[in-house]
Amino acid sequence: MTSETGRLDGIPLIPRDALFGNPERAAVQISPDGRHLSWLAPLDGVLNVWVAPADDPSAGRPVTRDTSRGIQAYFWTYRPDTLVYLRDAGGDEDFHLFAVPVAGGEARDLTPYEHTTAQVTGISHRHPDTLLVGMNDRDAQWHDLYRVDLATGERELVEENTDQIAGYLADADYVLRYAQRARPDGGQDVLLRGEDGWELSETIPFEDALSTELMGLTDDGQTLYLLDSRGRDTTGLYAVPTAGGERTLVHEDPRADVAAILAHPRTGEVEAAGVTYLRREWHVVHEPVAEDLERLESMGPGEAVVTSRTLDDRTWLVEYSAAEEPAVYHRYDRDTGRLTELFRGRPALEGAPLVPMTPLELTARDGRTLVSYLSVPAHVAGETGLPTEPVPLVLMVHGGPWWRDAYGYDDWTQWLANRGYAVLQVNFRGSTGFGKDFTNAGDAQWGQAMHDDLVDAVEWAVGAGVTTAGQVGIYGASYGGYAALAGLTFTPELFACAVDIVGPSNLATLLETVPPYWASFFEQLARRVGDPRTEEGRALLRERSPLTHAERIARPLLIGQGANDPRVKRAESDQIVEAMTSRGIPVTYVLFPDEGHGFHRPENTKAFHAIAEGFLAQHLGGRVEPIGQDLAGSSTEVLQGADGVPGLAEALAGHQAELRV
């Protein structure tokens, strides 16, 4: 690889801090009345909410003062000058809902109850001073519904959830109209509110449960929008008259599900529907927005997303990005058609050697099409999207698994490509977005056909000259972490190394310890993964668990785990590490005591990627930015195998000395 490395050295090294540190700005929004702009930005190194007058973005100031993990999600209410945000503690996912006045004052916890996860169910311009919020403080499994006063925090019970309701749908006056309830077979009942309580309206079979969803009501309550895959494969968008009558198909696509909508902020009427097959495409439903969407599409070869709109619908906030360009935020004036650039999310990456992403249609061994994405290092970029010569490859596996990879900017992908690796992202069977048949083909196929799709993609990459056998690593989080462990146990010679982030190693203990508020989803898990309540199911879970086959591991493994993860408990990583070390199999195990399901504090994100970079370079041969001070400020604990990553032991010694000071 001498000549290749030499040519790679001509490509500037992108600092990890520019990729994984705090963005300069993120989640830019405009208030419903159009008076304020808001965004997330660092305050003393921690992401907080900032607000500025809409006509003077330079006058932004922080309105929250979080000093821990930072704020990940917020939104405006219709109460003047009031926004709300969600925050958990140390990654435990017990998200509390806080209200904060932008004029100044302390944030108010609207859900001040222990072990409670807030679910915002209703927000309406007709009732600006209150929200509908689900809380599970009475019963950890089921959320009761409350109307919460934004100014005082007082809550009024709307409905005690004694019917095991998985979700409610209210109209603009906060009147409950529909609900969904899990069925014993893994499907769902759709309930309609009648004079005497909830009545069964229709059923959603198990095979449609992941692709059929009540989207919302129009402001007048006369139309229900529904994503529905019943009687078809891909999900279609339907408009259903609530007073009775025939439903209308709004949009469909035989290649992929309708997965996004653009709705008027006041009327709630759907104006456009989005479908993502290889790239996202918008279909105009309401002609007045056609010109607007055309104008946004002309911004460039990437994708424009409308992130917020004023209630009068005259001003939109638009986020534009492409695979090789991080988010750029614009204000769009519909009256004049003028687009004004406001902020760049990561200006430190402007001019950096970011690489494009090429959509692919690969073929699995049984003929299924696997929509995939390939990104290659800049020094071997070819006109077709394939590299001009083979390079080491990282197979990046998405989580879920009921999720999908899609086109767009991705910090992991750009980091790896800049270090000299091709990156292949595969939508294996079980992924969502490509019709229910493709999703359901993954049922009971963890470690089997789902893994075979990944193996087929690797074999394609070798055959196409993207890489060579023996130069492929596998990397992923959550289900992707499971896939990394499965790669080392079910196909122990295929991958040169693996990185597992919060991945389950024992499927039985995974299902035995899911959060209590996942009760409505448990039957889905049991049928799609394996049922721990039956002998046959337990045997399946045992066979498909990497822990069962730990003795097969023959290639290097790096594990990252959040100690407070409520989904994939720390025990999942502890078990596989113990099984390996008891057999004398080397493993590097990194624990973050203040993280949960994935790493959110930028100090921890940078620390883990610094370790992973050295690990991958040792086994795949890419280039490395030294760990240096990238452990500073993090909670990094290396419980096993620090000597398995060059420079890690020395960096840890310095980090521990810093902590002692």
Active site residues: 478, 565, 597
Tokens of 404: 């999908």
If one counts every other C-beta atom within 10 angstroms of the C-beta of residue 418, the result is 25
The sheet carrying 213-217 orders its strands as 213-217, 223-228, 236-241, 248-251
**Interior angle at CA 562, CA 560 and CA 563, nearest 5:** 125
> CA-to-CA distance for 590 and 562, rounded, in angstroms?
9
Radius of gyration, alpha carbons of the chain: 25
Residue tagged 């209308």 (tokens)? 248
Peptide bond before 401: cis, by omega within 30 degrees of 0? yes
> CA-to-CA distance for 525 and 209, rounded, in angstroms?
12
Buried b / exposed e across 515-529, counting CB within 10 Å, b at 16+? Answer: bebebbbbbbbbbbb
Integer angstrom CA distances of residue 344 from 24, 28, 36, 318, 650: 8, 10, 18, 12, 36
> CA-to-CA distance for 164 and 134, rounded, in angstroms?
13
H or E segment to which residue 525 belongs: helix 522-528
Tokens of 81: 């000058």
If one counts every other C-beta atom within 10 angstroms of the C-beta of residue 556, the result is 23
> CA-to-CA distance for 188 and 206, rounded, in angstroms?
7
> CA-to-CA distance for 644 and 631, rounded, in angstroms?
17
Cross-strand partners of 444: none
Which pairing describes strands 497-501 and 472-477: parallel, antiparallel, or unpaired? Answer: parallel
Quote the DSSP letter at residue 582.
T
The sheet carrying 325-333 orders its strands as 303-309, 315-322, 325-333, 338-344
**Interior angle at CA 539, CA 533 and CA 543, nearest 5:** 135
